[in-house]
């Protein structure tokens, strides 16, 4: 049961992550929505402004037309009423008004004060509607004869007061607004059609652009998946998709190379460390068996064998310590605690730890150390650096067993530490890699100081953390000098 539970957990997590990915909107949709919104807004603004301008222009035109035609029809009617003009019969008036209405392309009527249609007399609407208009005109004109111009819901009107065969009435000239409605309808239709066209166009344009934009992203995503699955051979390309894509591709390629390097180093580290663990463990086991089976009763031999076991256990301990140091430094757990200290005195102190080599193994350890050279750094970590560098010089120096340690003021602001040996030196092509190597097995070399193969990696990380300049000068067959440039401080 417990096992099942444990197995489910990562799966659920994966699914949740996948879901989150699904919820995000595609570039195509975003582009399409943005383009469509902007385009539709433009179409609507344009459509509405066109609509209002057209309605306005048409209204003005109808107004002008009704006034002009109204005046003309009034003049024509008045002309028939002149005293020197032969009077028209009522029937002739009907025909004449109908003629004027047709020729001027407007409606023209005469009705009396109560709204009763007088001319042209036939079936034009019902009298009631004229009654309303008659009342309105009466109110508008008051004692005047007119003309009066007014707009009702669906008509534009020009009217004057006149007397028709003795009856008080009105000449009523009008034009309907129907044409306006049809213009407005046309306009709406045109706007809707344009909007549909624009939507289709934006769909096409945004799918084109998003396709172009997302192509390199999709390609890179595919490659990133391969890369995530452990294929370091993938090559990210930005192509001709703009500098941002090229930059992204370059960054991904850089990340790939870095991860590849880290991965390779990690694998090398594991392989080398396991190898280095195995050797002392084998020795410890072998010598323990020897004590048990052979030398247990022989104190002299037994002590010798126990010493081997102790030495090998020490080796394992320092390997574990160095590994821990390295991983802490790399993880940034060990933050620097800089203090001011006397570099000269501190170097002497470190050198003291190697003094036994002088006495027991004939080493010639020389010191050229100026007094009172002060610096500022993390004292404990610098101690590790000095110890590792001097330890290496002791390990790799030549037959003469000479090692020279120097500390001096090198300028107004800098102090110089160097340790030189007379060993085989390091070939030029190996110089950059000695710092990167996590480990190098030197079993062939008999070392007076235990080395784990991690010494220079630790030195490099510590000095880089401090931002100090450091390096190595080496000549094959003559020896090497490792140096560090410290900041100089007042005591
Ligand atoms: P270790 O000395 O334990 O192998 P280091 O990280 O200290 O590991 O050094 C890495 C390698 O650099 C060594 O294995 C050796 O090949 C080379 N090296 C370091 N110091 C010296 C030196 N003073 N002279 C020659 N080679 C050196």
Query: Does the structure show a pLDDT above 50 at 289?
Result: yes
Query: Does the structure show a pLDDT above 90 at 484?
Result: yes
Per-residue confidence (pLDDT) for residue 466, from 0 to 100: 94
CA of 371 to the centre of ligand 1 (A): 29
Looking at ligand 1, which residue's alpha carbon is closest to its atom 10? 434
In DSSP terms, which residues pair with 67 in a beta bridge? none
What is the average per-residue pLDDT within 450-468? 86
* Cα–Cα distance measured from residue 164 to residue 91, given in angstroms and rounded to the nearest whole number: 13
What does DSSP assign to residue 430? Answer: G
Q: Quickly state the pLDDT bin for 8 (edges 50, 70, 90).
A: very low
What is the average per-residue pLDDT within 431-445? 63
Q: Which of ligand 1's atoms lies nearest the C-alpha of 438?
A: 6
Looking at ligand 1, which residue's alpha carbon is closest to its atom 20? 392
Query: Does the structure show a pLDDT above 60 at 21?
Result: no
Per-residue confidence (pLDDT) for residue 33, from 0 to 100: 82
Q: In the structure, which protein residues have their CB atom closer than 6 angstroms to any atom of ligand 1?
A: 388, 392-393, 395-396, 421, 423, 426, 434, 437, 440, 442, 451-457, 480
Pocket test residue of 392, 446, 453 for ligand 1, highest count of atoms within 8 A of CB: 392
Most confidently predicted of 131-145, 323-337, 417-431: 417-431
Q: Which of ligand 1's atoms lies nearest the C-alpha of 423?
A: 24
What is the average per-residue pLDDT within 364-369? 95
Per-residue confidence (pLDDT) for residue 467, from 0 to 100: 95
Q: Quickly state the pLDDT bin for 127 (edges 50, 70, 90).
A: low
Q: Which of ligand 1's atoms lies nearest the C-alpha of 434?
A: 12
> How does DSSP assign 23-55, residue by residue?
HSPPHHHHHHHHHHHHHHHHHHHHHHHHHHHHH
Pocket test residue of 315, 425, 434 for ligand 1, highest count of atoms within 8 A of CB: 434
Pocket test residue of 396, 399, 442 for ligand 1, highest count of atoms within 8 A of CB: 396
CA of 382 to the centre of ligand 1 (A): 18
CA of 373 to the centre of ligand 1 (A): 27
Lowest mean pLDDT: which of 57-71, 75-89, 429-443?
Answer: 429-443
Looking at ligand 1, which residue's alpha carbon is closest to its atom 21? 392
CA of 392 to the centre of ligand 1 (A): 6
Lowest mean pLDDT: which of 125-129, 219-223, 331-335, 351-355?
Answer: 125-129
Query: Does the structure show a pLDDT above 90 at 358?
Result: no
CA of 483 to the centre of ligand 1 (A): 14
Encode pLDDT of 376-413 as tens digits. 999 988 998 999 999 999 999 999 999 999 999 999 99
Q: Which of ligand 1's atoms lies nearest the C-alpha of 452?
A: 3
Query: Does the structure show a pLDDT above 50 at 444?
Result: no
CA of 414 to the centre of ligand 1 (A): 26
What is the average per-residue pLDDT within 87-106? 83
CA distances from 244 to 2, 126, 257 (A): 49, 78, 20
* Cα–Cα distance measured from residue 315 to residue 308, given in angstroms and rounded to the nearest whole number: 10
Q: Quickly state the pLDDT bin for 445 (edges 50, 70, 90).
A: low
Which residue did the predictor score with more confidence, 105 or 310? 310
CA of 260 to the centre of ligand 1 (A): 25
Looking at ligand 1, which residue's alpha carbon is closest to its atom 4? 453
* Cα–Cα distance measured from residue 95 to residue 117, given in angstroms and rounded to the nearest whole number: 15
Looking at ligand 1, which residue's alpha carbon is closest to its atom 7? 455
Lowest mean pLDDT: which of 63-67, 322-326, 343-347, 365-369?
Answer: 322-326
Per-residue confidence (pLDDT) for residue 269, from 0 to 100: 75
Per-residue confidence (pLDDT) for residue 170, from 0 to 100: 86
Query: Does the structure show a pLDDT above 80 at 452?
Result: no
Per-residue confidence (pLDDT) for residue 15, from 0 to 100: 45
Looking at ligand 1, which residue's alpha carbon is closest to its atom 17? 434
CA of 426 to the centre of ligand 1 (A): 9
* Cα–Cα distance measured from residue 121 to residue 94, given in angstroms and rounded to the nearest whole number: 6
Query: Does the structure show a pLDDT above 90 at 62?
Result: no
CB 485 within 8 A of CB 416: yes
CA of 273 to the centre of ligand 1 (A): 16
CA of 434 to the centre of ligand 1 (A): 7
What is the average per-residue pLDDT within 8-33? 60
Per-residue confidence (pLDDT) for residue 342, from 0 to 100: 97
Per-residue confidence (pLDDT) for residue 23, from 0 to 100: 57
Q: Quickly state the pLDDT bin for 420 (edges 50, 70, 90).
A: very high
229 phi-psi bin (left φ>0, alpha ψ -120 to 50, beta other): alpha
CA of 244 to the centre of ligand 1 (A): 44
How many Cβ atoms are within 10 Å of 16's Cβ, its own excluded? 10
Percent of the chain's residues with pLDDT above 90: 25
Looking at ligand 1, which residue's alpha carbon is closest to its atom 1? 453
CA of 453 to the centre of ligand 1 (A): 7
Residue 393 CB contacts under 8 Å (≥ 6 apart), including other chains: 403, 405, 419, 420, 421, 423, 480, 482
Per-residue confidence (pLDDT) for residue 125, from 0 to 100: 52
Lowest mean pLDDT: which of 252-256, 294-298, 409-413?
Answer: 294-298
């Amino acid at each position: 049961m417990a096992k099942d539970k444990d197995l489910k957990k990562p799966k659920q997590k994966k699914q949740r992550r996948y879901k989150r990915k699904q919820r995000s909107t595609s570039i195509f949709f975003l582009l399409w929505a943005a383009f469509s919104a902007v385009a539709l807004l433009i179409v609507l603004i344009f459509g509405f402004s066109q609509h209002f301008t057209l309605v306005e222009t048409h209204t003005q035109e109808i107004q002008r037309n009704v006034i002009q035609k109204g005046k003309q029809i009034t003049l024509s009617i008045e002309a028939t009423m002149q005293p020197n003009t032969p009077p028209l019969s009522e029937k002739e008036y009907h025909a004449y008004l109908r003629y004027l209405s047709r020729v001027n392309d407007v409606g023209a009527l005469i009705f009396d004060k109560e709204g009763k249609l007088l001319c042209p007399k036939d079936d034009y609407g019902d009298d009631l509607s004229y009654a309303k208009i008659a009342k309105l005109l009466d109110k508008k004109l008051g004692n005047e004869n007119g003309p009066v111009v007014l707009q009702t819901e669906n008509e534009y009107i020009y009217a004057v007061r006149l007397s028709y065969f003795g009856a008080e009435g009105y000449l009523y000239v009008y034009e309907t607004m129907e044409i306006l409605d049809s213009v407005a309808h046309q306009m709406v239709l045109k706007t809707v059609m344009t909007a549909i066209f624009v939507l289709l166009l934006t769909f096409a344009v945004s799918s084109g652009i998003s396709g172009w934009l997302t192509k390199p992203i999709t390609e890179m995503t595919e490659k990133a998946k391969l890369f995530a699955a452990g294929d370091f051979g993938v090559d990210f390309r930005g192509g001709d998709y703009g500098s941002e894509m090229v930059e992204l591709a370059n960054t991904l390629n850089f990340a790939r190379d870095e991860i590849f390097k880290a991965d390779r180093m990690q694998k090398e580290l594991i392989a080398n460390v396991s190898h280095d663990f195995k050797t002392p463990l084998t020795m410890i086991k072998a010598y323990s068996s020897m004590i048990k089976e052979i030398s247990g009763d022989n104190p002299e031999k037994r002590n010798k064998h126990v010493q081997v076991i102790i030495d090998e256990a020490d080796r394992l301990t320092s390997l574990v310590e160095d590994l821990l140091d390295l991983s802490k430094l790399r993880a940034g757990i060990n933050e620097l605690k800089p203090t001011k200290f006397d570099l000269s005195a501190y170097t002497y102190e470190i050198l003291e730890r190697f003094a036994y080599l002088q006495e027991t193994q004939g080493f010639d350890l020389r010191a050229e150390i100026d007094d009172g050279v002060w610096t500022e750094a993390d004292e404990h970590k610098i101690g590790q650096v000095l110890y590792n560098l001097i330890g290496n010089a002791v390990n790799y120096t030549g037959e003469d067993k000479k090692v020279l340690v120097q500390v001096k003021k090198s300028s107004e602001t800098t102090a110089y530490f160097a340790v030189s040996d007379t060993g085989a030196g390091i070939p030029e092509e190996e110089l950059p890699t000695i710092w990167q190597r996590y480990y190098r097995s030197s079993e062939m070399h008999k070392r007076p100081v235990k080395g784990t193969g991690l010494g220079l990696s630790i030195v490099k990380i510590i000095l880089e953390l401090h931002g100090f300049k450091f390096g190595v000068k080496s000549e094959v067959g003559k020896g090497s000098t490792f140096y560090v440039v410290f900041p100089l401080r007042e005591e």
